[in-house]
Amino acid sequence: MEGMDQVFSFLDLVINDRTVPKNIRKVAEDAKTLLNDESQPADLRISTAIHMLDEITNDPNMPMYARTKIWNVVSLLEEKRREISR
């Protein structure tokens, strides 16, 4: 998917950060895998990834800096979804 470099970069920061709980890193990795899966429509992949990431932001064990990165990813994905739907 074009223009997703920053999204993947933020997700990689969370995935590779060992101070972030394992369950949160797993969801970030699952979202990245989903976004790379070309077998589904892009808008569906983005919407599903937004939902997955939004749910983990409520985890009380998530460090604030990781939560900020996830919010940035969600914001970028929402922007990308708007571009696709135009």
DSSP states along 65-85: HHHHHHHHHHHHHHHHHHHHH
Domain boundaries, the chain: 5-85
Residue 17 contacts residue 25 (beta carbons within 8 Å): yes
Above 80 in pLDDT, residue 2? no
Above 90 in pLDDT, residue 20? yes
Task: Give residue-wise pLDDT tens across range 29-59.
Answer: 999 999 999 999 999 999 999 999 999 999 9
Q: With bands split at pLDDT 50, 70 and 90, how would you rate the model's confidence at 1?
A: low
In CATH, the number for domain 5-85 is 1.20.1440.50
> Percentage of the chain surpassing pLDDT 90?
92
Q: What is the mean pLDDT of the chain?
A: 94
Q: With bands split at pLDDT 50, 70 and 90, how would you rate the model's confidence at 85?
A: confident
